Amino acid sequence: MNIALWIVQGLLSALFLFGGVSKLMIPIEEITASVPLPGYFIQFIAVAEILGAIGLILPWALRLLPGLTPLAASGLVIIMIGATTLTAMGVGGGEPIGALVPGITGLLCAFVAYGRYSSAPRRRSSRRQAVLATAA
Supply the pTM of this predicted model.
0.84
For position 126, what pLDDT does the model report? 60
Residue 131 or 48, more confident:
48
Is 28 exposed, middle or buried (CB count within 10 Å of its CB: 0-12, 13-18, 19+)? middle
Contact between residue 20 and residue 47 where contact means Cβ atoms under 8 Å apart: yes
Q: Which structural domain range is residue 102 located in? A: 2-135
Q: Which residue has the higher pLDDT, 124 or 104?
A: 104
Structural domain count of the chain: 1
Who contacts 8 (Cβ-Cβ below 8 Å, separation ≥6)? 108, 111, 112
User: What sign does the CA torsion over 54, 58, 59, 64 have?
Assistant: negative
